[in-house]
Amino acid sequence: MIKLYLTPGTRAGRVAWLLEELKLDYELEVLPFTKEGLKSPEHRSRHALGRVPVIEDGDISIFESGAIIQYIVDKYSNGDLKPDINSSDYPYYLQWFHYCEGMVMPPMNQIVVQTVLLPPDRRDETVLNQAKNLLSKSLNPVNNFIQDKDYLIGDFSAADCMLGHSCYMATRLGAVSEDMLNIKKYVSNIESRSAFQKAIKLGEDVDNPIG
């Protein structure tokens, strides 16, 4: 059985969501967003930087949400949640799967740092505004691509667990402008999924400044 190490409000939510979509049994360990929770010697033995998500699957222990999602889909989905390699949708599945970490998450990370993680006296309004501007630019191609689509490639896929989760988090941060109507509809579609609703609530009772 897969064991997932999760801190609420982080990329680990992507993995929990996928596990719920696939209806896989899994063991969950919720780690608080604290030095004791994430930087302990025990957790650093799983992830040297003390981060989540991490999964253990038998003798295998891996981190990085994208790698974990690809691993789970390839091993446990029976061909579901990703298009066939010969499908015309497959290149776009790959593109948006990786666009998430390449373009959307870097400015979003900076927004979280400047609005949540740093104490007020260390925050930089210029850096924050630059990050918001870059995030908006990064989301524009997504907004254009998903016009008339419920999900990134039409049917729900693992790419939505990656980029869709980021669009949801960007919405929570107030970074999705009112004119991005396609992303707003997309996030609404995501929020309506029962697997997402269950996954996003995991660890709610743990004190977490970014949740």
| pLDDT given for residue 211 in this prediction | 41
**Residue range 2-18: average pLDDT?**
97
pLDDT, one tens digit per residue, over 56-87 is 999 999 999 999 999 999 999 999 999 999 99
Same fold, 2-81+196-200 and 90-193: no
pLDDT tens digit sequence for 177-203: 999 999 999 999 999 999 999 999 998
- Where b means 16+ CB within 10 Å and e means fewer, 142-155 reads bbeebeeeebbbee
Q: Is 77 exposed, middle or buried (0-12, 13-18, 19+ CB in 10 A)?
A: middle
Residue ranges per domain, the chain?
2-81+196-200, 90-193
Q: How confident is the model at residue 208 (pLDDT cuts 50, 70, 90)?
A: low
Domain 90-193 fold is: Glutathione S-transferase Yfyf (Class Pi); Chain A, domain 2 (1.20.1050)
Cα torsion through 80, 145, 103, 181, rounded to 10: -110
CATH superfamily of 2-81+196-200: Glutaredoxin (3.40.30.10)
pTM over 0.85: yes
DSSP 129: H
Q: Tell me the mean pLDDT in the region 202-207.
A: 74
